[in-house]
Amino acid sequence: MKKVITYGTFDLLHWGHINILKRAKELGDHLTVALSSDEFNAIKDKKAYHSYENRKMILEAIRYVDEVIPEHEWDQKVKDVVDHNIDIFVMGDDWEGKFDFLKDYCEVVYLPRTVGISTSKIKKDLFKVK
């Protein structure tokens, strides 16, 4: 069985998220999503609308996702890859090169982002003054 992992906050879920999850799952047989905990988001100075538990529940309902684990810190990726027997690490290409250190442990794939959508764009569009 080929195992794939990806990471993210996955707040305000949109078709860009679904696309990356679908493409990640197509690379293997089992997709693990490491979901940023509320505490980790605070460390990153990132705000999520939905709590970790609610984001986890949403991800678990997506057919491409086989398992959701918490991400508590930047440095846990090597441990996650080793502990979960991961074959392929997947991130959006906006992170190109940032996780190449994982190539000692698994294949690293950077997938193109879905054009025209992002959580930042949604937030910006919602708060535009008309």
Per-residue b or e along 75-95, where b marks 16 or more CB atoms closer than 10 Å to that residue's CB: ebbeebbeeeebbbbbbbeee
Q: Tell me if residue 44 is catalytic.
A: yes
Return the H-helix or E-strand segment holding 4.
Answer: strand 3-8
- Which position among 2, 46, 98, 121 bears the catalytic label? 46
- Residues 32, 60 contacting (CB under 8 angstroms): no
Q: Tell me if residue 98 is catalytic.
A: no
Active-site residue list: 44, 46
